[in-house]
Amino acid sequence: MVKIVVDMMGGDNGATPTIAAVTKFLEDHDDVEIVAVGDEKVLEPLKEKVKIIPSTTVAPMECSVMQAMRDKESSVYKAVTATLSENADAVLSAGSTGAFLSLCTLILKKIEGVDRPALITQFPTKIEGKYVVLLDVGASADNNAEELVQFAKIGEAYYQAFYDKKNPDVYLICNGTEEGKGNNLSKQAYSMLKGRENFKGYLEGRDVLTGVADVVVFDGFTGNVFLKGTEGTAKMMGGLMKNAFLSSLSSKIGYLFARKSLKKMTELMNYKRVGGALLVGVNKVAVKAHGNADFESFYGSLMVAYNSAKKQTVEKIKENLKI
Amino acid sequence: MVKIVVDMMGGDNGATPTIAAVTKFLEDHDDVEIVAVGDEKVLEPLKEKVKIIPSTTVAPMECSVMQAMRDKESSVYKAVTATLSENADAVLSAGSTGAFLSLCTLILKKIEGVDRPALITQFPTKIEGKYVVLLDVGASADNNAEELVQFAKIGEAYYQAFYDKKNPDVYLICNGTEEGKGNNLSKQAYSMLKGRENFKGYLEGRDVLTGVADVVVFDGFTGNVFLKGTEGTAKMMGGLMKNAFLSSLSSKIGYLFARKSLKKMTELMNYKRVGGALLVGVNKVAVKAHGNADFESFYGSLMVAYNSAKKQTVEKIKENLKI
């Protein structure tokens, strides 16, 4: 059995999508147990299916660490603490990223050998069915070389466990591919990672989504800028494509013929399905769903939590940090 | 008259596209004078139209600064030195970025008040006809806060001159938009830029291409990762779109109807037309065309050199650094 604690209230869309997603997830999986945290009245429809832990407040999206720690009645605070008290495998929230990350770090505690937990996200690549794992995409703003090395080990172990690949290709993001390239930070991390079996060297931004890499290591600042830049570019191109199709009668007709194939394409680029980001380096599986997660997106996040727990990613990360 | 020195040999495609582009550019503009540097025999077709400065070697694409400085017969070395001796306004090369940047910095010299010259690139945005200027996208790997402030001043002056906009909106890239966000470097730069008239604060990666900003300041490492990430995402989406259209008979028919509108879209995303990158912060206009520039792309780079010189961007940058 996989046991997941879910903050039902934290997202922008309240409990409607989370109740629907949890209900469907329980229908689809018979080896999962959900602990739902939130307003008892609102969660009434789930009463027969899950254990409900009542909470009375919701941490605001822009929430300081102090605020998050102080409001012990918030759904996110109760969800994170329940992960320990209920001895669950995973915790999931669509609430404030800052609050969730700091609560997970402070309450679930960091794995031995981890200085800074990292946010992992998974991206589709040019190679059909292949995903690339990026970390850190924003848990930290400043990192040192030791932390980048830890990210490499964490990412490697996560990929091995989650995608069942013994030797994932691990790269370090850089402004060029030759050994002499990089800023002071990446040069130092490179020299520490060199010689490690699965470390394949530097990777440029243009090659992150080609499918050549399984894991790409970023400092949290650069990773965040990269991730959001990719999102912005995809959105802009999507908008341009839409305008192109709307621009003439002929192109509108064209759209009617091509829409089925185009839908497949937009589905591939639909990051909602990928299911948010994971905080790795803490003692439980901790999944941060998108703040504006809808049913589909929240279901995707439950899937990530479930698979990450089932594949024992936390245990594998612990082992790999010793090597 | 605008006088441009052109390294005719440096690119991957040799002199064929550069000769064609220079010929066409001279036909289209009657207030421009070109000095062409390269193999005299190869440049024979231009003999009547331009001054030719013979060179005998070509600096390799992967070229160290030492190598670039030592080979005084290379087309790029001769082009940069000729910019001074011929009293030209601008220099253009499609050769090794490293060699060109260091030669420009060492020979043309930095403008007073500039510690590190920066690479500027121009991007189309969601707003039709509007471009955003990004710097530094890779001249440096490590920058300090003073250098980011210089980039802001350089970018502001460049935008004012090139796009005739008195008060361009200048932003600093960040992992969030609130004042407390950022890494140590961006926090320090923010506090130094705060209160400056055109400085509008932090910008996240997802908003760089929306058109909200005129100028976005990056450290060279992050800027390079962002730029290449955008390129990779655009390429991936282009590939997905192509596959979507090829995937069925119906979608192929759809393409026939929509291709005219779609062509407009791909033209907008065609960075070749934008004309490469500019090295700013040196005493002349210095344009780095893409290494694999074809006729269209090289023509675009000539256009950038011509307009940057005509609009006196170097003089405007000099003035703005004093404020």
Q: What is the 3-state secondary structure (H, E, C) of chain A?
A: CEEEEEECCCCCCCHHHHHHHHHHHHHHCCCEEEEEEECCCCCHHHCCCCEEEECCECCCCCCCHHHHHHCCCEHHHHHHHHHHHCCCCEEEECCCHHHHHHHHHHHHCECCCCCCCEEEEEEECCCCCCEEEEECCCCCCCCCHHHHHHHHHHHHHHHHHHHCCCCCCEEEEECCCCCCCCCHHHHHHHHHHCCCCCEEEEEEHHHCCCCCCCEEECCHHHHHHHHHHHHHHHHHHHHHHHHHHHCCHHHHHHHHHHHHHHHHHHHHCCHHHHCCEEEECECCEEEECCCCCCHHHHHHHHHHHHHHHHCCHHHHHHHHCCC
B-interface mutation test, from A171, A222, A241, most B Cβ less than 10 A away: A222
Query: Are A108 and A127 members of one domain?
Result: no
- For chain A, the residue count is 323
**Total domains, chain A:** 2
Strands A277-280 and A118-124: antiparallel
Host domain of residue A239: 121-271
| Cβ contact, residue pair B254, A258, below 8 Å | yes
Q: Which whole number is the average pLDDT over A118-126?
A: 91
The reported pLDDT for the residue numbered B76 is 96
Averaged confidence pLDDT in chain A? 92
| Residue A121 and residue A274 in contact, taking contact as beta carbons nearer than 8 Å | yes
| Cβ contact, residue pair B234, A235, below 8 Å | no
The reported pLDDT for the residue numbered B268 is 65
Q: What is the pLDDT of residues B106-131, one digit of tens each?
A: 999 999 999 999 999 998 888 888 99
Q: Is the peptide bond before A136 cis (omega within 30 degrees of 0)?
A: yes
Query: Are A79 and A200 members of one domain?
Result: no
CB nearest B142 (choices: A184, A259, A262): A184
* Residue B30 identity: D
Measure in Å the smallest separation between the Cα of A130 and chain B Cα atoms.
Answer: 13
CB nearest B257 (choices: A174, A224, A254): A254
Q: What is the pLDDT of residues A259-307, one digit of tens each?
A: 777 777 776 666 555 668 999 999 999 999 988 889 999 999 999 999 9
Distance (Å, whole) CA A317 – CA A159 = 10
The reported pLDDT for the residue numbered A260 is 76
Q: How many other CB atoms are found less than 10 A from the CB of residue B127?
A: 12
Query: Are B74 and B218 members of one domain?
Result: no
Q: Which whole number is the average pLDDT over A80-108?
A: 96
CA-based radius of gyration for chain A: 20
Q: How many helices (H) and strands (E) does chain B have?
A: 11, 11
Query: Are B122 and B266 members of one domain?
Result: yes
Query: Please, what's the b/e burial string for B88-100 (b: 16 or more CB within 10 A of its CB; e: otherwise)?
Result: bbbbbbbbbbbbb
DSSP 3-state of B128? coil
Measure in Å the smallest separation between the Cα of A179 and chain B Cα atoms.
Answer: 13
| Cβ contact, residue pair B247, A226, below 8 Å | no
Query: Are B255 and B136 members of one domain?
Result: yes
Q: Which residue has the tokens 């059995």?
A: A1
| Cβ contact, residue pair B186, A221, below 8 Å | yes
Distance (Å, whole) CA A25 – CA A303 = 8
* Residue A270 identity: N
Query: Are B119 and B256 members of one domain?
Result: yes
Closest of B67, B113, B91 to residue B276, by C-alpha: B91
Q: Does residue A247 or residue B316 have the better pLDDT?
A: B316
- Which range has the worst mean pLDDT, A112-116, A133-137, B62-66? B62-66
Query: Are A180 and A145 members of one domain?
Result: yes
Name the band, by pLDDT with cuts 50, 70 and 90, for residue A58. Answer: very high
Distance (Å, whole) CA B173 – CA B187 = 11
Contacting residues of B for A229, CB less than 8 Å apart: 205-206, 208, 226, 229-230, 233
CATH of the domain at A201: 3.40.718.10
Q: Tell me: pLDDT of B293 over 80.
A: yes
Percent of chain A with pLDDT over 70: 97
| Residue A304 and residue A290 in contact, taking contact as beta carbons nearer than 8 Å | no
Query: Are B121 and B249 members of one domain?
Result: yes
Measure in Å the smallest separation between the Cα of B189 and chain A Cα atoms.
Answer: 15
Q: What is the pLDDT of residues A30-39, one digit of tens each?
A: 999 999 999 9
| Cβ contact, residue pair B259, A254, below 8 Å | yes
First to last CA, chain B: 30
Measure in Å the smallest separation between the Cα of B310 and chain A Cα atoms.
Answer: 32
| Cβ contact, residue pair A205, B184, below 8 Å | no
Q: Tell me: pLDDT of B273 over 70.
A: no
DSSP 8-state symbol, B294: -
Closest of B35, B112, B16, B26 to residue B75, by C-alpha: B35
DSSP 8-state symbol, B47: T
Q: Which whole number is the average pLDDT over B218-235?
A: 92
The reported pLDDT for the residue numbered A268 is 65
- For chain B, the residue count is 323
Query: Are A106 and A5 members of one domain?
Result: yes
Q: Tell me: pLDDT of B258 over 80.
A: no
Contacting residues of A for B255, CB less than 8 Å apart: 254, 258
Measure in Å the smallest separation between the Cα of A183 and chain B Cα atoms.
Answer: 5
Closest of A195, A190, A159 to residue A175, by C-alpha: A190
Q: Which residue has the tokens 């939130």?
A: A38
Distance (Å, whole) CA A224 – CA A140 = 9
Distance (Å, whole) CA A224 – CA A279 = 14
Q: What is the pLDDT of residues A189-243, one digit of tens each?
A: 999 999 999 999 999 999 999 999 999 999 999 999 999 998 888 888 888 778 7
Using CA coordinates, name the residue in chain B closest to A259: B251
Query: Are B149 and B206 members of one domain?
Result: yes
CB nearest B230 (choices: A229, A259, A269): A229
Q: What is the pLDDT of residues B164-201, one digit of tens each?
A: 999 999 999 999 998 889 999 999 999 999 999 999 99
Query: Are A257 and A287 members of one domain?
Result: no
Using CA coordinates, name the residue in chain A closest to B126: A236
A276 lies in some domain: no
Measure in Å the smallest separation between the Cα of B34 and chain A Cα atoms.
Answer: 33
| Residue A116 and residue A154 in contact, taking contact as beta carbons nearer than 8 Å | no
Contacting residues of A for B209, CB less than 8 Å apart: 232-233, 236
The sign of the torsion formed by the CA atoms of B290, B231, B67, B115 equals: positive
Q: Which whole number is the average pLDDT over A7-18?
A: 94
CB nearest A204 (choices: B228, B237, B256): B228
| Residue A318 and residue A160 in contact, taking contact as beta carbons nearer than 8 Å | no
Q: Which whole number is the average pLDDT over B240-249?
A: 80
Q: Residue A130 corresponds to which tokens in the numbers above? A: 């292949």
B-interface mutation test, from A121, A265, A270, A292, most B Cβ less than 10 A away: A265
Measure in Å the smallest separation between the Cα of A314 and chain B Cα atoms.
Answer: 27
| Residue B281 and residue B117 in contact, taking contact as beta carbons nearer than 8 Å | yes
* Residue B314 identity: V
Query: Are B133 and B223 members of one domain?
Result: yes
